[in-house]
Amino acid sequence: MSLSRKVLIVGSYNQDLSWKTSNFPYPGQTVLGTFHMNPGGKGSNQAVAAVRAGAHATFVGAVGKDPFGAAAHTFLKNEGLTIHLVEKTEAATGTAAIMVNSAGQNEIIVALGSNLLLTSEDVPDALLNEASIIICPLEAQLTTVEGIFKRAKQAGARTLLNPAPMPKHLPPEILKHTDIIVPNEGEFAQLISQIEPGFDTASILADLSTLPHQAIHQACRILKIDHVIITLGEKGVFVSSPTEYFYLPAIPVKVIDTTGAGDAFIGGLTTSLIENPNDMYKAVCFANCTAALAVTKPGAAPSFPLRPEIDALLKKHLKDKLV
């Protein structure tokens, strides 16, 4: 793959500590469950999803000088990623505590640690200059994301923002330098309420998937971003651009664990856009299949599918006209 066809992910690496139990405990309750430890973090997950889907991907992140940081180097290299991990001695590697119930739903607490020490200057110019798409989730300082996106646009790269976790206030400069934004419906409603305080977001939060598509499209255009892609979980995905909008239902699968489904979607989306930059419909179909396969297995990164699996599911559902 040529230098002009790379994806760069700048974001978090967290060590995921996961517990699976029948039901989430209520305050003060102790429940029994099983434990697993896996690599995670939204940036790392999206990078792994992209490279497994077939992209030439580079990951930039920050880790602590500790066993979890050492594990990050090993894991990411073994996944086939080009990595640039900055070691921060002032903080520990990020961690996440994840609970998953029998329905596959999850509750997560993240301690970002060294991720919050990552700066825009930690990203070498050479990596920015050779990337055609640059992804940033928000498990980092907002000033870091803003600086990276400004530099990315100067380098001529396309920028994709995953506004998760959604801050109380997202600086408008970040949105100004964003080409593609991929929020879930809660994050989307928060964004709209920040930009247009008088906008009726109650209906969006109630159930965005039941609104007329034209109304959702009009709300998307408030963000003034070329492509707004709202992930709706089991309800599907809605896509808005200045010239078109469309909705795709989720692909029906047996859900085991939804952890990392959004990251799988973004990894699949960017992989397809690297190969077909002007075909957003195909990219979203490909991303939909990537996310669907990811929720059929436990964990985040370990559940992400390989390219042959994605291609097979995409071919099947295109044939059945389900995507």
pLDDT, position 299: 78
Using DSSP bridges, classify how beta strands 14-20 and 34-40 pair: parallel, antiparallel or unpaired.
antiparallel
Q: Considering only the C-alpha atoms of the chain, give the largest distance between any 2 of them, rounded to a whole number of Å.
A: 55
Asked whether the beta carbons of 94 and 139 are under 8 A apart, the reply is: yes
Percent of the chain with pLDDT over 70: 94
DSSP letter string over 111-154?
E-GGGGG--GGGS-HHHHHTEEEEEEESSS-HHHHHHHHHHHHH
**For position 113, what pLDDT does the model report?**
97
Q: What CATH number corresponds to the domain at position 81?
A: 3.40.1190.20
Mean pLDDT for the stretch of residues 131-157: 96
Mean pLDDT of the chain: 92
Token pair of 177, please? 């330098």
Assigned domain for 263 exists:
yes
Asked whether residue 1 is domain-assigned, the answer is no
E strand or H helix at 286, and its extent? helix 280-294
pLDDT tens digits along 172-186:
999 999 999 999 988
Q: Residues 287-315, buried b or exposed e (16+ Cβ, 10 A)?
A: bbbbbbbbbeebbbbbbbbebebbeebbe
pLDDT of residue 257: 86
How do 82-88 and 57-64 pair as beta strands? parallel
Please check whether residue 3 lies inside any domain of the structure. Answer: no
pLDDT exceeds 70 at position 139: yes
Query: What's 251's DSSP letter?
Result: P
8 A C-beta contact, residue 48 and residue 104: no
Does residue 21 belong to any structural domain of this protein?
yes
Which candidate, 226, 295, 297, places its Cα nearest to that of 263? 295
The yes-or-no verdict on residue 318 having pLDDT over 80 is no
Q: Work out the average pLDDT over 248-257.
A: 90
Residue 204 is predicted with a pLDDT of 62
Residue partners of 99: CB distance under 8 A and separation at least 6: 18, 19, 20, 21, 24, 33, 106, 107, 108
**What is the pLDDT averaged over residues 48-60?**
97
Average pLDDT estimate for 179-202 = 86
Burial-class residue 9 by CB neighbours within 10 Å (0-12, 13-18, 19+).
Answer: buried
Q: Which amino acid is at 123?
A: V
Write down the catalytic residue from 179, 207, 263, 279: 263
R_g of the chain, CA atoms, integer Å = 19
Does residue 150 fall inside a structural domain?
A: yes
Please indicate, yes or no, if residue 249 is contained in any of the structural domains: yes
Q: Which 3 state secondary structure label does DSSP give 29?
A: coil
Asked, for residue 4, whether it belongs to a domain, the answer is no
Phi, psi of 71 (to 5 degrees): -65, -35
Per-residue confidence (pLDDT) for residue 323, from 0 to 100: 47
Q: Where are the alpha helices (DSSP H) in 33-81?
A: 42-53, 67-78
Least confident of 70-79, 197-206, 232-241: 197-206
226 is catalytic: no
Mean pLDDT over residues 306-312, rounded?
Answer: 96
Please state the rounded mean pLDDT for residues 120-129: 96
Which of 87-96, 128-137, 210-219, 227-236 is predicted least confidently?
A: 210-219
Tell me what the mean pLDDT of segment 88-111 comes to.
92
Q: Note the pLDDT of residue 322.
A: 47
Domain that holds residue 160: 9-27+34-319
Average pLDDT value for residue range 145-154: 97
The yes-or-no verdict on residue 2 having pLDDT over 50 is no
Residue 2 lies in a domain: no
Helix (H, G, I), strand (E, B) or coil at 43: helix
Tell me how far apart the alpha carbons of residues 209 and 249 are, in angstroms, rounded to a whole number.
10
What's the whole-number mean pLDDT along residues 62-75? Answer: 96
Domain count, the chain: 1
* Cα torsion 57, 61, 65, 71: sign: negative
